[in-house]
Structure 1
């Protein structure tokens, strides 16, 4: 099934995103022995050692990495503290990796991506304050290690609080990145507000199940919004991070680079681990800055279901693998 722009639409997207919140389906899927083999296409592994092996391979291929320790919606303070501890160790390990120089690109080759809900944003009473302080701890460590930090987007109910935290900490860490989602109606305004000098913004289409009151529902509308937001960022003074696998978006980004005179060191392409690897390699070989978003950890279920909802090809791969290995 295609939309009027010729882009693939996944008719099962609402069903899959609903499944992401089903504890019963999660137990059934994670209990299948072959699942771990299939998940490894999209997730580097469950341990930091698994992740470090993958990250080093990507760096040697001429790409950069953004690493996400999977986990979100933490409601336990001890779990939030454990997440902070894991990220601190992760930053140390990433800083120790060999990082071959990339011609004309000054971006930090290694970055961590973090969700504020994993740092305690949803904790009762003082959640936002706790998450902000935990993020400050990670940014302080990252600054010492030469590693970047980007704050991931979550569902729309967290957007205002998350961007407020990023804005607050940018006074101390002006390189702190933020993620905005093109399917939200508010994102054009957010792009204008956040695209000042030195600002790093990752623009993605969006992967959560959102109501029509706050988000575009049709694929063509989301793509159109993405292109409008991308133009704002490319014509601004910040550092756009073009997070998309869509050929139309990649082509539009390259056209805007030509129009605005941006060199390869003033923006970057971002893609997910396990998706369009050949295109990642092609762009990097052409001298483009390419960063791969690499998740790891045992809490992979929500991440995987969102990846399956994005593209029919991902779901087809997953179902075929289940059938062939069952």
Structure 2
């Protein structure tokens, strides 16, 4: 009886050791494989987000922020899978753990929905490089220079000096005023009594003298011609291609040069006029 008990106990212990030993080895193998996969994924993220050549400091900071976010996301997902798989290999029922994690994730997601939306929008802005610090943009109805960017928000400094902080999740449309090139547009309204041939000749001579020479221009200004017959005068339009962010300064300079040229040539700019017809007094008789 004693021998049987010892043999049974020995067999039970051996079976338990083998069973738990196998589970522990399986869990350890899962952890090792997970760590290896994590390293491969991190190397892949670093390779994909590597900056080619010389880049501006702001671009480097922006890509580092994006790279850090991606690396942390990879770590969180991989470690969650490793822990769940290792616990399952040890024989623990992970269904309840996944249920609790799912409920907690939903609660956190609902509570921080706006933050998640802002961060995801910030990631897309960084990936697509819609704008960078220093660009002049219009976001959510605000126009100004981008002073700083983060995954959560974008700060704009308006021309009046106001600082507008716009959550990235509220950005639906982006108008970038400082990419590639810009066009300066100047509309001029001259009196109807002025001969158009003479006006156009003076304008063409004035514009031809601007390029090269005027700072900000990348091509010679062009007279597009008559664009409107307004109530007070004939509207002509001048178009000039200029460097990014220089169109406002170029427009001011062109208006000044054209005004001086018109003054020298005696060309009259139109002014708003209203013609009033006076009706005869109804109380007066025709013979009066």
TM-score by length of 1: 0.17
Q: Which has the higher strand share?
A: 2
TM-score by length of 2: 0.18
